[in-house]
Amino acid sequence: MSAAELIAALAAAVPGAAFEALESADADVTPVILVPVEHLLATARALRETPGLEFHAFSDVTAVDFHPRREPRFDVVYHLVSPHRRARVRLKVRVALDQPVPSVTAVWPGAGWTEREVYDLFGIVFEGHGELRRLLMPDDWDGHPLRKDYPVQLRKDAGTFMPLQVTEEEFRANMERDRTARPRSKDAHG
Amino acid sequence: MTVNMGPQHPSTHGVLRLVLELDGETVVSVSPTIGFLHTGIEKTAEQKKWQQVIPLVERMDYLGPQSNSLAFCLSAERLLGLEVPQRVKDIRVLIAELQRLSSHLVWFGTHTMEIGAITGMLYAFREREILMNLNEHLAGFRFFPSYIRVGGLREDIPRGWLEAVRAFLDRLPGKLDEYETLITKNPIWLDRTRGVGVISLEDCYQWGLYGPIARAAGGDYDVRRAFPYMGYETYDFDVIGASNGDVYDRYLVRMAEMRESVKICRQALERIPPIGEWAVNDRRITPPPKDEVYTEMEALIQHFLIYSQGFTVPAGDAYVPVEGPRGEHGCYVVSDGSNRPWRVHMRSPGLMACQALHKFIVGGMIADVIAVIGSLDVVMGDVDR
């Protein structure tokens, strides 16, 4: 089923949505449809429930950051599969920084962790997600590492684990205290 | 009672932490915590040239490394518009199926060991050692061969390798029979696995579980059949299915899949001519042969260009699914037209399995948690990436 046929099938179920078929290198296997963000949830429901589409299986959601080349900077990319029809589709949603995306967890519960991963690594907020917290990075991490403006060579310690660190003065004081507290006799070594 | 299981627990397959809420011995709720093995491979890959990404993605799912690199290479080749020679396709199929055997042998070994049949582990690792030796013979590296490259293979298969593979394939079916006499009808095994960790096909699909887990629940979705790649449509093999969706059926499906893999390997061996092409004949991607580099100016320039700058990939995005040992693998790559990928994302079957863990174990016994995790065959490197 090509992207044009999918859009035609979706048009009846999601009135008023301006879908766009996008070019991609693998369009023969996976047609790509650009979905307006306000119609994402309705489109997801239609893809799952419309007879003849039946994308029952959730495959993946991820994001791509095009900063600073493009505005709006994020693409949120959904991969869906219809196992018995042997069909795939890729949905894309374009969002700007701090623009929320509706969560599709109500349609496919399997989207839960992958949306958390996108939130964790890109900082994209999914509205209606029951438990939107970090998945891979520590809970107290600053920033979202897969954004293009996140520095690559940043040296940073996670707040949850801090190795014991002392200043040079403290180190010398400790040495001195050890030396005076437990004087080592020359006889001890024979 | 609350029980904290992991992150360092021998049966959590790496570093998976489970906080289990118990009522007696019955599991009331589970909350898995992952991320202990997160190494930022997707971010690192954006800094590397296309060919340099391959060793990185192989380290994601470390029990099926060449299934990762195959997924990445197929996506990158899709963007480049490359069609690799038939011989390369057949060698890749052979490697991918040997990889599946290797991964399933580790699964068999660890799964049986966790349920109490230590012998299974000793037997399975004996056969896997031969596969490791085959990798070493092929590429000089036992675990992460990085042998599949964008545009083909790293180099031609070494002399004697095909014969070694044939000898292994002659040996394995007898050993699989040996495993099955040990386990398949063992009453203790049946008690521990039958009716345990049951999931329905509908739940599998909506929670993103494909591969052996969904096929054990009555599904027939296999990427090799549904969306053939590398010429799988020309191979004769069965998609193995079962219907109960419990731990025992997942065991049966994987065991039968190993026999199917042997079948595919034998067919691939028949097709691979001993000499022939091992990469595309495209000087943008493949370095010229050394004798040309020494004698021709253009070849020397190409050699330097490929080893210093790499090659550029046309702008666009692609996702080619492949059937990995754990289900649908796939690499979503985005290129901006430069010599480094703009974005590399690997779909992780293990992440989905960890996410849906509560579907398998809530309402069951705590001892069954071990059996279920083993039957899901999660690899934490793949989950955390």
Q: DSSP of B262-284, one letter per residue?
A: HHHHHHHHHH--SSS--B-S-TT
**Domain range annotation of chain A:** 3-153
Is B221 in the A-facing interface, judged by CB distances under 8 Å?
yes
Using CB atoms within 10 Å of the CB of residue A46, give its burial: 0 to 12 exposed, 13 to 18 middle, 19+ buried: buried
Across the interface, do A136 and B38 touch by the CB < 8 Å criterion?
A: yes
Asked, as a colleague might, if the bond just before B158 is cis with ω within 30 of 0, I would say no
Q: Which DSSP state fits B19?
A: E
Higher pLDDT, B220 or A152: B220
Tally Cβ neighbours within 10 Å of residue B175.
Answer: 16
Look at strands B26-33 and A57-65 and give their pairing. Answer: unpaired
Min Cα separation A41/chain B (Å)? 16
pLDDT classification of A150: cutoffs 50, 70, 90: confident
Average per-residue pLDDT in chain A?
82
Chain A residues whose C-beta is within 8 A of a chain B C-beta are 23-26, 29-30, 56-60, 62, 64-66, 69, 77, 79, 81, 83-84, 86, 88, 90, 108-114, 117, 121, 134-138, 145-146, 150, 152
Is B38 in the A-facing interface, judged by CB distances under 8 Å?
yes
- Contacts with A129 (C-beta within 8 Å, 6 or more apart), sequence order: A103, A105, A112, A115, A116, A119
Across the interface, do B316 and A109 touch by the CB < 8 Å criterion?
A: no
Across the interface, do A25 and B221 touch by the CB < 8 Å criterion?
A: no
Across the interface, do A110 and B206 touch by the CB < 8 Å criterion?
A: yes
ipTM here: 0.86
What's the rounded mean pLDDT across residues A26-53?
Answer: 87
Contacts of A86 in chain B (CB under 8 A): 226-227
Average per-residue pLDDT in chain B?
89
Tally Cβ neighbours within 10 Å of residue A137.
Answer: 18
- How many CB contacts within 8 angstroms connect chain A with chain B? 115
pLDDT classification of A1: cutoffs 50, 70, 90: confident
pLDDT digits (tens, 9 = 90+) for B197-218: 899 988 889 898 988 999 999 8
Higher pLDDT, B8 or A6: A6
Dihedral sign for Cα atoms in the order A144, A145, A150, A151: positive
Across the interface, do A145 and B320 touch by the CB < 8 Å criterion?
A: no
Is B35 in the A-facing interface, judged by CB distances under 8 Å?
yes
| A188: pLDDT strictly greater than 50 | no
Using H for helix, E for strand and C for coil, what is the string for B329-385? EEEEEEECCCCCCCEEEEECHHHHHHHCHHHHHCCCEHHHHHHHHHHHCCCHHHHHC
How remote is the C-alpha of A102 from its chain's centroid?
14
Is B317 in the A-facing interface, judged by CB distances under 8 Å?
yes
- Contacts with A51 (C-beta within 8 Å, 6 or more apart), sequence order: none
Min Cα separation A17/chain B (Å)? 24
| A104: pLDDT strictly greater than 70 | yes
| A84: pLDDT strictly greater than 80 | yes
pLDDT digits (tens, 9 = 90+) for B169-202: 999 999 999 999 888 888 988 988 888 889 998 8
Min Cα separation A77/chain B (Å)? 10
**Domain range annotation of chain B:** 2-38+65-73+84-283+350-384
Q: Which amino acid is at B305?
A: L
Classify A3-153 by CATH class: alpha beta
Across the interface, do B75 and A26 touch by the CB < 8 Å criterion?
A: yes
Is B319 in the A-facing interface, judged by CB distances under 8 Å?
yes
Tens-binned pLDDT, residue by residue, of chain B (385 aa): 788 887 777 666 778 888 888 888 888 888 888 888 888 899 888 888 898 899 999 988 888 899 899 999 999 999 998 889 999 999 999 999 999 999 999 999 989 988 888 888 899 999 999 999 999 999 888 889 889 999 889 888 998 899 999 999 999 999 999 999 888 888 988 988 888 889 998 888 989 898 899 999 988 888 988 888 888 989 998 888 888 889 999 999 999 999 999 999 999 999 999 888 888 888 888 888 888 889 999 889 888 888 888 888 898 999 999 998 988 888 999 998 888 899 999 998 889 988 988 888 888 888 888 888 888 888 888 888 8
Which H helix or E strand runs over A8? helix A3-13
Q: Which DSSP state fits B188?
A: H
Across the interface, do B355 and A57 touch by the CB < 8 Å criterion?
A: no
A145: its two tokens: 């590492």
pLDDT at B128: 92
**B residues 175-214 near A, CB within 8 Å?**
202, 205-210, 214
pLDDT digits (tens, 9 = 90+) for A111-131: 989 999 999 999 999 988 888
* Phi and psi torsions of B301, nearest 5°: -60, -45
Considering only CB atoms, A108 lies closest to which of B34, B206, B214, namely B206
Measured CA to CA in angstroms, residue B210 lies from A110, B130, B369 at distances of 12, 29, 20
What is B114-160 written as a DSSP string? HHT-HHHHHHHHHHHHHHHHHHHHHHS-SS----EETTEESSPPPTT
pLDDT at B25: 86
Is B336 in the A-facing interface, judged by CB distances under 8 Å?
yes
B2-38+65-73+84-283+350-384: CATH topology is Cytochrome-c3 Hydrogenase; chain B (1.10.645)
Contacts of A69 in chain B (CB under 8 A): 336
Dihedral sign for Cα atoms in the order B97, B103, B109, B113: negative
Which of B206, B210, B229, B385 is most worth mutating to test chain A (most A CB atoms within 10 A of its CB)?
A: B206
SS3 B9: coil
Which of A22, A49, A62 is most worth mutating to test chain B (most B CB atoms within 10 A of its CB)?
A: A62
* Phi and psi torsions of B40, nearest 5°: 65, 35
What's the rounded mean pLDDT across residues A66-93?
Answer: 89
